[in-house]
Copies of this chain bind each other. A is one copy, B any other.
Protein backbone atom coordinates (compact mmCIF):
# COMPACT_ATOMS: atom_id res chain seq x y z
CA UNK A 1 0.00 0.00 0.00
CA UNK A 2 2.90 2.36 0.63
CA UNK A 3 3.95 2.11 -2.98
CA UNK A 4 0.39 2.64 -4.19
CA UNK A 5 -0.01 5.78 -2.06
CA UNK A 6 3.21 7.14 -3.44
CA UNK A 7 2.07 6.81 -7.04
CA UNK A 8 -1.37 8.23 -6.52
CA UNK A 9 -0.60 11.11 -4.22
CA UNK A 10 -2.32 13.61 -6.51
CA UNK A 11 -5.65 11.78 -6.45
CA UNK A 12 -7.90 12.45 -3.45
CA UNK A 13 -8.87 9.48 -1.26
CA UNK A 14 -11.79 7.69 -2.88
CA UNK A 15 -13.34 6.79 0.50
CA UNK A 16 -12.80 10.12 2.22
CA UNK A 17 -13.68 12.51 -0.61
CA UNK A 18 -15.43 10.82 -3.51
CA UNK A 19 -16.35 14.04 -5.40
CA UNK A 20 -12.75 15.29 -5.29
CA UNK A 21 -11.49 11.83 -6.29
CA UNK A 22 -13.76 12.04 -9.35
CA UNK A 23 -12.52 15.49 -10.34
CA UNK A 24 -8.89 14.49 -9.86
CA UNK A 25 -9.30 11.35 -11.94
CA UNK A 26 -11.09 12.94 -14.91
CA UNK A 27 -8.56 15.78 -15.11
CA UNK A 28 -5.36 13.79 -14.44
CA UNK A 29 -6.19 11.07 -16.94
CA UNK A 30 -6.93 13.79 -19.51
CA UNK A 31 -10.44 12.62 -20.22
CA UNK A 32 -11.74 16.15 -20.01
CA UNK A 33 -10.92 19.77 -19.28
CA UNK A 34 -12.99 22.80 -18.35
CA UNK A 35 -14.08 25.04 -21.24
CA UNK A 36 -13.82 28.83 -21.00
CA UNK A 37 -17.58 29.32 -20.69
CA UNK A 38 -18.91 28.37 -17.25
CA UNK A 39 -20.34 24.87 -17.17
CA UNK A 40 -18.85 23.72 -20.49
CA UNK A 41 -16.33 20.91 -20.96
CA UNK A 42 -13.75 19.94 -23.51
CA UNK A 43 -13.75 16.21 -24.17
CA UNK A 44 -10.09 15.41 -24.74
CA UNK A 45 -8.97 12.59 -27.07
CA UNK A 46 -8.79 9.95 -24.32
CA UNK A 47 -12.32 10.79 -23.19
CA UNK A 48 -13.64 11.18 -26.71
CA UNK A 49 -12.22 7.76 -27.59
CA UNK A 50 -14.54 6.25 -24.98
CA UNK A 51 -17.48 8.16 -26.47
CA UNK A 52 -16.62 6.93 -29.97
CA UNK A 53 -16.73 3.34 -28.76
CA UNK A 54 -20.00 3.96 -26.93
CA UNK A 55 -21.43 5.46 -30.12
CA UNK A 56 -20.28 2.58 -32.28
CA UNK A 57 -21.80 -0.05 -30.00
CA UNK A 58 -25.10 1.78 -29.48
CA UNK A 59 -25.44 2.76 -33.12
CA UNK A 60 -25.09 -0.88 -34.13
CA UNK A 61 -27.88 -1.81 -31.73
CA UNK A 62 -30.14 1.01 -32.96
CA UNK A 63 -29.70 -0.10 -36.56
CA UNK A 64 -30.27 -3.74 -35.68
CA UNK A 65 -33.61 -2.68 -34.21
CA UNK A 66 -34.58 -0.92 -37.44
CA UNK A 67 -33.66 2.71 -36.70
CA UNK A 68 -31.99 5.18 -39.07
CA UNK A 69 -30.01 8.30 -38.23
CA UNK A 70 -30.88 11.81 -39.35
CA UNK A 71 -29.91 15.34 -38.38
CA UNK A 72 -32.26 18.15 -37.40
CA UNK A 73 -31.32 21.82 -36.95
CA UNK A 74 -30.05 22.92 -33.56
CA UNK A 75 -32.00 26.20 -33.63
CA UNK A 76 -35.68 25.95 -32.77
CA UNK A 77 -38.13 28.87 -33.05
CA UNK A 78 -39.14 29.92 -29.53
CA UNK A 79 -42.79 29.58 -30.49
CA UNK A 80 -42.30 25.81 -30.95
CA UNK A 81 -41.22 25.30 -27.36
CA UNK A 82 -44.51 26.76 -26.16
CA UNK A 83 -46.74 24.35 -28.09
CA UNK A 84 -46.63 21.56 -25.52
CA UNK A 85 -47.50 23.07 -22.15
CA UNK A 86 -45.56 20.79 -19.79
CA UNK A 87 -42.58 20.82 -22.11
CA UNK A 88 -42.07 24.59 -22.06
CA UNK A 89 -42.53 24.68 -18.30
CA UNK A 90 -39.78 22.11 -17.88
CA UNK A 91 -37.24 23.57 -20.26
CA UNK A 92 -37.83 27.35 -20.60
CA UNK A 93 -35.74 28.46 -17.59
CA UNK A 94 -32.60 26.67 -18.78
CA UNK A 95 -32.57 27.24 -22.55
CA UNK A 96 -29.86 29.29 -24.25
CA UNK A 97 -31.34 31.86 -26.62
CA UNK A 98 -29.88 33.24 -29.83
CA UNK A 99 -31.18 36.77 -30.29
CA UNK A 100 -28.69 38.36 -32.70
CA UNK A 101 -26.64 37.59 -35.79
CA UNK A 102 -23.69 39.94 -35.96
CA UNK A 103 -25.19 43.34 -35.15
CA UNK A 104 -28.70 42.45 -36.26
CA UNK A 105 -31.51 41.36 -33.97
CA UNK A 106 -33.45 38.34 -35.22
CA UNK A 107 -37.21 38.64 -35.77
CA UNK A 108 -37.82 35.69 -33.41
CA UNK A 109 -35.47 34.48 -30.71
CA UNK A 110 -34.15 30.97 -31.27
CA UNK A 111 -33.78 28.21 -28.73
CA UNK A 112 -30.57 26.18 -28.84
CA UNK A 113 -32.09 22.70 -28.59
CA UNK A 114 -32.26 21.27 -25.06
CA UNK A 115 -33.88 18.23 -26.74
CA UNK A 116 -35.52 17.99 -30.16
CA UNK A 117 -39.11 16.80 -29.73
CA UNK A 118 -40.59 20.08 -30.94
CA UNK A 119 -38.61 20.56 -34.14
CA UNK A 120 -38.77 16.86 -35.00
CA UNK A 121 -42.55 16.82 -34.51
CA UNK A 122 -42.82 19.81 -36.81
CA UNK A 123 -40.97 17.90 -39.55
CA UNK A 124 -42.90 14.68 -38.89
CA UNK A 125 -46.14 16.61 -39.41
CA UNK A 126 -44.98 17.23 -42.99
CA UNK A 127 -43.57 13.79 -43.66
CA UNK A 128 -46.35 11.58 -42.32
CA UNK A 129 -49.57 11.39 -44.28
CA UNK A 130 -50.61 7.76 -44.46
CA UNK A 131 -50.48 4.67 -42.28
CA UNK A 132 -47.98 3.44 -44.85
CA UNK A 133 -45.53 6.07 -43.56
CA UNK A 134 -45.53 4.44 -40.12
CA UNK A 135 -43.63 3.51 -38.08
CA UNK A 136 -41.07 6.32 -38.23
CA UNK A 137 -37.90 5.12 -36.49
CA UNK A 138 -35.29 7.89 -36.41
CA UNK A 139 -32.33 8.57 -34.15
CA UNK A 140 -30.08 11.62 -33.96
CA UNK A 141 -26.52 12.00 -32.57
CA UNK A 142 -26.14 15.62 -31.52
CA UNK A 143 -25.07 18.23 -29.03
CA UNK A 144 -27.70 19.77 -26.75
CA UNK A 145 -27.65 22.66 -24.30
CA UNK A 146 -29.25 22.90 -20.87
CA UNK A 147 -27.99 25.66 -18.63
CA UNK A 148 -27.33 24.24 -15.19
CA UNK A 149 -26.37 26.03 -12.00
CA UNK A 150 -24.08 23.35 -10.65
CA UNK A 151 -22.01 21.55 -13.23
CA UNK A 152 -19.48 18.70 -13.22
CA UNK A 153 -17.61 17.20 -16.17
CA UNK A 154 -19.70 14.50 -17.94
CA UNK A 155 -22.33 14.46 -15.17
CA UNK A 156 -23.96 17.81 -15.74
CA UNK A 157 -22.65 20.32 -18.27
CA UNK A 158 -24.25 23.21 -20.14
CA UNK A 159 -23.56 21.49 -23.45
CA UNK A 160 -23.36 17.73 -23.78
CA UNK A 161 -23.37 15.08 -26.49
CA UNK A 162 -26.12 12.53 -26.73
CA UNK A 163 -28.38 10.51 -28.95
CA UNK A 164 -32.12 11.00 -29.10
CA UNK A 165 -34.44 8.50 -30.74
CA UNK A 166 -37.84 9.80 -31.88
CA UNK A 167 -40.39 7.33 -33.14
CA UNK A 168 -44.00 7.37 -34.36
CA UNK A 169 -46.34 4.38 -34.29
CA UNK A 170 -49.76 3.46 -35.51
CA UNK A 171 -50.90 1.87 -32.25
CA UNK A 172 -50.46 2.61 -28.58
CA UNK A 173 -49.35 -0.97 -28.06
CA UNK A 174 -46.53 -0.68 -30.58
CA UNK A 175 -45.31 2.61 -29.09
CA UNK A 176 -45.34 1.13 -25.58
CA UNK A 177 -43.41 -1.87 -26.88
CA UNK A 178 -40.81 0.45 -28.44
CA UNK A 179 -40.44 2.35 -25.15
CA UNK A 180 -39.63 -0.85 -23.28
CA UNK A 181 -37.60 -2.37 -26.11
CA UNK A 182 -35.18 0.57 -26.15
CA UNK A 183 -34.91 0.47 -22.36
CA UNK A 184 -33.91 -3.15 -22.85
CA UNK A 185 -31.33 -2.18 -25.47
CA UNK A 186 -29.83 0.33 -23.03
CA UNK A 187 -29.77 -2.22 -20.21
CA UNK A 188 -28.11 -4.89 -22.35
CA UNK A 189 -25.56 -2.34 -23.58
CA UNK A 190 -24.85 -1.18 -20.01
CA UNK A 191 -24.23 -4.77 -18.97
CA UNK A 192 -22.27 -6.15 -21.89
CA UNK A 193 -20.31 -3.08 -22.97
CA UNK A 194 -20.01 -0.85 -19.89
CA UNK A 195 -20.06 -3.69 -17.31
CA UNK A 196 -22.64 -1.67 -15.37
CA UNK A 197 -25.60 -3.42 -13.72
CA UNK A 198 -28.56 -1.02 -13.68
CA UNK A 199 -31.89 -0.62 -11.94
CA UNK A 200 -34.64 -0.29 -14.55
CA UNK A 201 -38.16 0.87 -13.91
CA UNK A 202 -40.75 3.61 -14.31
CA UNK A 203 -40.26 7.15 -13.03
CA UNK A 204 -42.82 8.91 -10.87
CA UNK A 205 -44.88 11.68 -12.49
CA UNK A 206 -42.77 14.25 -10.68
CA UNK A 207 -39.55 12.85 -12.12
CA UNK A 208 -40.74 12.11 -15.65
CA UNK A 209 -39.74 14.02 -18.80
CA UNK A 210 -41.56 17.28 -19.39
CA UNK A 211 -44.36 16.35 -21.77
CA UNK A 212 -44.19 12.55 -21.50
CA UNK A 213 -47.02 10.34 -20.32
CA UNK A 214 -44.56 7.81 -18.89
CA UNK A 215 -40.81 7.83 -18.44
CA UNK A 216 -38.66 4.76 -17.83
CA UNK A 217 -35.07 4.96 -16.66
CA UNK A 218 -32.02 2.92 -15.96
CA UNK A 219 -30.34 4.06 -12.75
CA UNK A 220 -26.73 3.16 -12.02
CA UNK A 221 -25.39 3.00 -8.47
CA UNK A 222 -22.15 4.89 -7.95
CA UNK A 223 -19.60 3.81 -5.35
CA UNK A 224 -20.85 6.46 -2.93
CA UNK A 225 -24.30 4.89 -3.08
CA UNK A 226 -25.77 7.75 -5.09
CA UNK A 227 -27.82 7.14 -8.20
CA UNK A 228 -26.92 8.29 -11.68
CA UNK A 229 -29.79 8.33 -14.15
CA UNK A 230 -27.96 6.77 -17.07
CA UNK A 231 -30.67 6.55 -19.74
CA UNK A 232 -34.37 7.22 -20.22
CA UNK A 233 -37.13 6.18 -22.58
CA UNK A 234 -40.42 8.03 -22.86
CA UNK A 235 -43.91 7.10 -23.95
CA UNK A 236 -45.67 10.27 -25.13
CA UNK A 237 -49.04 8.88 -26.10
CA UNK A 238 -50.34 11.48 -28.55
CA UNK A 239 -49.37 14.55 -26.46
CA UNK A 240 -46.87 15.92 -28.95
CA UNK A 241 -48.45 14.59 -32.13
CA UNK A 242 -51.66 16.45 -31.24
CA UNK A 243 -49.81 19.62 -30.23
CA UNK A 244 -47.91 19.55 -33.53
CA UNK A 245 -50.80 18.35 -35.66
CA UNK A 246 -49.18 15.13 -36.88
CA UNK A 247 -51.99 13.23 -38.61
CA UNK A 248 -52.16 10.20 -40.82
CA UNK A 249 -54.93 8.67 -42.85
CA UNK A 250 -55.48 5.18 -41.52
CA UNK A 251 -56.56 2.23 -43.68
CA UNK A 252 -60.12 2.74 -42.42
CA UNK A 253 -60.17 6.21 -43.98
CA UNK A 254 -60.02 8.04 -40.64
CA UNK A 255 -57.45 10.74 -39.77
CA UNK A 256 -55.57 9.77 -36.60
CA UNK A 257 -52.73 10.99 -34.38
CA UNK A 258 -49.80 8.56 -34.15
CA UNK A 259 -48.33 7.40 -30.83
CA UNK A 260 -44.86 8.60 -30.06
CA UNK A 261 -41.75 7.71 -28.07
CA UNK A 262 -38.33 9.22 -27.47
CA UNK A 263 -35.23 7.84 -25.75
CA UNK A 264 -31.73 9.02 -25.02
CA UNK A 265 -28.37 8.49 -23.40
CA UNK A 266 -25.53 10.97 -23.19
CA UNK A 267 -21.89 11.58 -22.32
CA UNK A 268 -23.07 11.10 -18.71
CA UNK A 269 -22.42 7.42 -19.36
CA UNK A 270 -18.70 8.20 -19.19
CA UNK A 271 -19.23 9.62 -15.70
CA UNK A 272 -21.19 6.49 -14.80
CA UNK A 273 -18.42 4.12 -15.78
CA UNK A 274 -15.77 6.15 -13.98
CA UNK A 275 -17.72 6.16 -10.71
CA UNK A 276 -18.80 2.53 -11.02
CA UNK A 277 -15.40 0.97 -11.71
CA UNK A 278 -12.70 3.44 -10.64
CA UNK A 279 -10.47 2.95 -7.60
CA UNK A 280 -7.65 4.67 -5.74
CA UNK A 281 -5.30 4.10 -8.66
CA UNK A 282 -7.59 5.90 -11.07
CA UNK A 283 -9.75 4.67 -13.92
CA UNK A 284 -10.68 1.06 -14.53
CA UNK A 285 -12.15 0.95 -18.02
CA UNK A 286 -14.35 -1.83 -19.38
CA UNK A 287 -12.50 -3.38 -22.36
CA UNK A 288 -15.17 -2.79 -24.99
CA UNK A 289 -15.06 0.99 -24.58
CA UNK A 290 -11.42 1.44 -23.50
CA UNK A 291 -9.56 3.55 -26.10
CA UNK A 292 -6.50 1.38 -25.34
CA UNK A 293 -7.48 -2.21 -24.62
CA UNK A 294 -3.96 -3.49 -24.11
CA UNK A 295 -0.68 -1.67 -23.54
CA UNK A 296 2.65 -3.33 -24.29
CA UNK A 297 5.54 -2.31 -22.04
CA UNK A 298 8.98 -3.53 -23.12
CA UNK A 299 11.33 -4.47 -20.26
CA UNK A 300 15.09 -3.88 -20.57
CA UNK A 301 14.50 -2.01 -23.77
CA UNK A 302 18.22 -1.60 -24.43
CA UNK A 303 18.63 -5.36 -24.92
CA UNK A 304 18.73 -6.30 -28.59
CA UNK A 305 15.47 -7.54 -30.09
CA UNK A 306 13.15 -6.40 -27.31
CA UNK A 307 11.61 -3.38 -29.00
CA UNK A 308 11.51 -5.20 -32.34
CA UNK A 309 9.59 -8.10 -30.80
CA UNK A 310 7.25 -5.65 -29.05
CA UNK A 311 6.58 -3.93 -32.39
CA UNK A 312 5.87 -7.29 -33.96
CA UNK A 313 3.38 -8.22 -31.22
CA UNK A 314 1.74 -4.81 -31.49
CA UNK A 315 1.24 -5.15 -35.24
CA UNK A 316 -0.25 -8.61 -34.88
CA UNK A 317 -2.72 -7.41 -32.24
CA UNK A 318 -3.65 -4.26 -34.17
CA UNK A 319 -4.23 -6.37 -37.26
CA UNK A 320 -6.61 -8.54 -35.24
CA UNK A 321 -8.66 -5.43 -34.43
CA UNK A 322 -7.40 -4.99 -30.87
CA UNK A 323 -6.84 -1.38 -29.74
CA UNK A 324 -3.23 -1.74 -28.64
CA UNK A 325 -0.53 0.74 -27.67
CA UNK A 326 3.19 0.11 -27.41
CA UNK A 327 4.94 2.47 -25.01
CA UNK A 328 8.61 2.43 -25.98
CA UNK A 329 9.26 5.86 -24.46
CA UNK A 330 12.19 6.56 -22.15
CA UNK A 331 10.16 6.46 -18.94
CA UNK A 332 10.87 3.64 -16.48
CA UNK A 333 8.66 0.54 -16.51
CA UNK A 334 7.49 1.52 -13.01
CA UNK A 335 6.34 4.91 -14.25
CA UNK A 336 4.54 3.26 -17.15
CA UNK A 337 2.82 0.65 -14.94
CA UNK A 338 1.48 3.48 -12.81
CA UNK A 339 0.46 5.61 -15.79
CA UNK A 340 -1.60 2.93 -17.53
CA UNK A 341 -3.12 1.74 -14.29
CA UNK A 342 -4.28 5.30 -13.68
CA UNK A 343 -5.61 5.45 -17.23
CA UNK A 344 -7.52 2.23 -16.62
CA UNK A 345 -6.10 0.19 -19.50
CA UNK A 346 -7.66 -3.27 -19.08
CA UNK A 347 -4.61 -5.39 -19.94
CA UNK A 348 -0.90 -4.68 -19.51
CA UNK A 349 1.56 -6.84 -21.40
CA UNK A 350 5.20 -6.93 -20.28
CA UNK A 351 7.79 -8.18 -22.70
CA UNK A 352 11.41 -8.61 -21.64
CA UNK A 353 14.40 -10.62 -22.88
CA UNK A 354 13.54 -13.61 -20.68
CA UNK A 355 9.90 -13.60 -21.84
CA UNK A 356 11.05 -13.52 -25.44
CA UNK A 357 13.47 -16.38 -24.80
CA UNK A 358 10.64 -18.42 -23.31
CA UNK A 359 8.16 -17.39 -26.01
CA UNK A 360 5.76 -15.95 -23.46
CA UNK A 361 4.47 -12.62 -22.22
CA UNK A 362 3.75 -11.59 -18.66
CA UNK A 363 0.43 -9.83 -18.37
CA UNK A 364 -1.78 -8.31 -15.74
CA UNK A 365 -5.38 -7.21 -15.57
CA UNK A 366 -6.53 -3.79 -14.38
CA UNK A 367 -9.47 -5.47 -12.63
CA UNK A 368 -7.09 -7.72 -10.63
CA UNK A 369 -4.21 -5.40 -9.72
CA UNK A 370 -1.29 -7.21 -8.12
CA UNK A 371 -1.75 -10.55 -9.89
CA UNK A 372 0.50 -11.55 -12.77
CA UNK A 373 -0.10 -14.14 -15.44
CA UNK A 374 1.78 -15.54 -18.42
CA UNK A 375 0.74 -16.87 -21.80
CA UNK A 376 2.52 -17.98 -24.98
CA UNK A 377 3.11 -15.01 -27.27
CA UNK A 378 1.41 -16.75 -30.16
CA UNK A 379 -1.80 -17.18 -28.14
CA UNK A 380 -2.31 -13.43 -27.61
CA UNK A 381 -4.40 -12.81 -30.70
CA UNK A 382 -6.89 -15.53 -29.87
CA UNK A 383 -6.78 -15.24 -26.07
CA UNK A 384 -7.08 -11.46 -25.63
CA UNK A 385 -10.68 -11.28 -26.88
CA UNK A 386 -11.60 -14.01 -24.39
CA UNK A 387 -9.73 -12.13 -21.69
CA UNK A 388 -11.70 -8.97 -22.47
CA UNK A 389 -14.95 -10.89 -22.14
CA UNK A 390 -13.80 -12.29 -18.81
CA UNK A 391 -12.74 -8.84 -17.57
CA UNK A 392 -16.08 -7.33 -18.55
CA UNK A 393 -17.91 -10.11 -16.76
CA UNK A 394 -15.74 -9.83 -13.66
CA UNK A 395 -16.21 -6.05 -13.52
CA UNK A 396 -19.94 -6.47 -13.98
CA UNK A 397 -20.20 -9.06 -11.24
CA UNK A 398 -18.19 -6.95 -8.85
CA UNK A 399 -20.46 -3.97 -9.49
CA UNK A 400 -23.52 -6.19 -9.18
CA UNK A 401 -22.37 -7.46 -5.80
CA UNK A 402 -21.89 -3.86 -4.74
CA UNK A 403 -25.40 -2.97 -5.90
CA UNK A 404 -26.93 -5.94 -4.15
CA UNK A 405 -25.25 -5.13 -0.86
CA UNK A 406 -26.28 -1.47 -1.05
CA UNK A 407 -30.04 -1.71 -1.28
CA UNK A 408 -31.82 -1.43 2.06
CA UNK A 409 -35.46 -2.31 2.40
CA UNK A 410 -37.18 0.41 4.39
CA UNK A 411 -40.57 1.16 5.86
CA UNK A 412 -40.20 4.61 7.39
CA UNK A 413 -38.88 8.04 6.46
CA UNK A 414 -36.18 7.68 9.11
CA UNK A 415 -35.05 4.40 7.56
CA UNK A 416 -34.86 6.05 4.15
CA UNK A 417 -32.57 8.72 5.59
CA UNK A 418 -30.46 6.17 7.47
CA UNK A 419 -30.08 4.08 4.28
CA UNK A 420 -29.07 6.91 1.94
CA UNK A 421 -26.88 8.61 4.58
CA UNK A 422 -24.85 5.42 4.76
CA UNK A 423 -24.48 5.11 0.98
CA UNK A 424 -27.40 2.95 -0.12
CA UNK A 425 -30.54 2.95 -2.20
CA UNK A 426 -33.66 2.60 -0.10
CA UNK A 427 -36.35 0.27 -1.43
CA UNK A 428 -39.80 0.76 0.01
CA UNK A 429 -43.47 1.40 -0.57
CA UNK A 430 -44.91 4.70 -1.72
CA UNK A 431 -48.50 5.93 -1.89
CA UNK A 432 -47.98 7.76 -5.20
CA UNK A 433 -48.51 11.27 -3.80
CA UNK A 434 -46.22 14.01 -4.98
CA UNK A 435 -46.43 15.61 -1.52
CA UNK A 436 -44.40 12.70 -0.11
CA UNK A 437 -41.74 13.21 -2.80
CA UNK A 438 -41.59 16.94 -2.11
CA UNK A 439 -41.14 16.29 1.59
CA UNK A 440 -38.27 13.82 1.04
CA UNK A 441 -36.57 16.27 -1.29
CA UNK A 442 -36.88 19.12 1.19
CA UNK A 443 -35.99 17.24 4.34
CA UNK A 444 -33.19 14.99 3.09
CA UNK A 445 -32.44 15.76 -0.56
CA UNK A 446 -33.78 12.36 -1.52
CA UNK A 447 -35.75 11.66 -4.68
CA UNK A 448 -37.69 8.69 -5.98
CA UNK A 449 -35.52 6.93 -8.57
CA UNK A 450 -37.85 4.46 -10.24
CA UNK A 451 -40.40 1.69 -9.72
CA UNK A 452 -38.89 -1.68 -10.64
CA UNK A 453 -40.87 -3.98 -12.94
CA UNK A 454 -40.98 -6.57 -10.16
CA UNK A 455 -43.59 -4.96 -7.93
CA UNK A 456 -43.75 -7.72 -5.31
CA UNK A 457 -44.67 -5.61 -2.26
CA UNK A 458 -42.29 -5.11 0.66
CA UNK A 459 -45.07 -3.69 2.83
CA UNK A 460 -48.42 -1.98 2.44
CA UNK A 461 -47.86 1.49 3.92
CA UNK A 462 -46.16 4.51 2.38
CA UNK A 463 -42.73 4.99 3.97
CA UNK A 464 -43.33 8.73 4.05
CA UNK A 465 -46.94 9.38 5.03
CA UNK A 466 -47.95 5.98 6.37
CA UNK A 467 -51.08 5.74 4.21
CA UNK A 468 -51.96 2.68 2.15
CA UNK A 469 -49.40 2.20 -0.61
CA UNK A 470 -49.11 -0.20 -3.54
CA UNK A 471 -46.05 1.17 -5.35
CA UNK A 472 -42.62 -0.27 -4.70
CA UNK A 473 -39.97 2.31 -5.49
CA UNK A 474 -36.28 3.10 -5.05
CA UNK A 475 -35.40 6.20 -3.06
CA UNK A 476 -31.94 7.73 -3.26
CA UNK A 477 -29.74 10.74 -3.66
CA UNK A 478 -28.81 11.38 -7.26
CA UNK A 479 -26.26 13.01 -9.51
Bound CA–CA A215/B71 (angstroms): 30
Neighbouring B residues of A95 by C-beta, 8 Å: 101-102
Q: Contact: B98 with A102, CB < 8 Å?
A: no
Query: Which of these binds chain B: A14-22, A39-47, A385-393, A468-476?
Result: A39-47
Q: Mark A326-368, 1 if CB is under 8 A from B, else 0.
A: 0000000000000000000000000000000000000000000
Judge whether B147 and A101 touch: CB under 8 Å: yes
Closest residue of B by beta carbon distance from A109: B100
Contacts of A92 in B (CB 8 A): 102
Distance A109 CA – B103 CA, assembled complex (angstroms) = 12
A110's contact among B37, B42, B119, by CB below 8 Å, is which?
A: B37
Q: Which of A101-135 contact B (CB under 8 A)?
A: 101-103, 109-110, 112, 119, 122-123, 126-127
Q: Does A308 reach chain B (CB closer than 8 Å)?
A: no
Asked whether any CB of chain B lies closer than 8 Å to the CB of A311, the reply is no
Further contacts, 6 of them, CB under 8 A, given A45-B68, A74-B159, A98-B99: A36-B80, A42-B123, A43-B71, A74-B143, A75-B96, A95-B102
5 contacts between A and B (CB under 8 A): A33-B127, A42-B70, A75-B96, A96-B101, A143-B143
Question: Does A457 sit at the interface, judged by CB under 8 A?
Answer: no
Chain A contributes a number of interface residues (CB within 8 A of B) equal to 54
Interface residues of A in 147-163 (CB under 8 A from B): 147, 158-159, 161
Given the complex of chains A and B, what is the CA–CA distance between A109 and B48 in angstroms?
28
* In contact, A45 and B72 (Cβ under 8 angstroms): no
What CA separation (Å) do A92 and B101 show in the bound complex? 9
A119 to B36, CA, bound (A): 8
Are A69's CB and B52's CB within 8 A? yes
Complex interface bits, A428-452 against B, C-beta within 8 A gives 1, otherwise 0: 0000000000000000000000000
The smallest C-beta distance from A26 to any residue of chain B, in angstroms, reads 14
Does A459 interact with chain B (Cβ within 8 Å)? Answer: no
Confirm or deny: A97 has a beta carbon within 8 angstroms of a beta carbon on chain B: yes
Whose C-beta in chain B lies nearest to the C-beta of A132? B329
A253 lies within 8 A of chain B by Cβ? no
Closest-CB distance, A113 to chain B (whole angstroms)? 11
Q: How far is the CA of A103 from the CA of B147 in the complex (A)?
A: 12
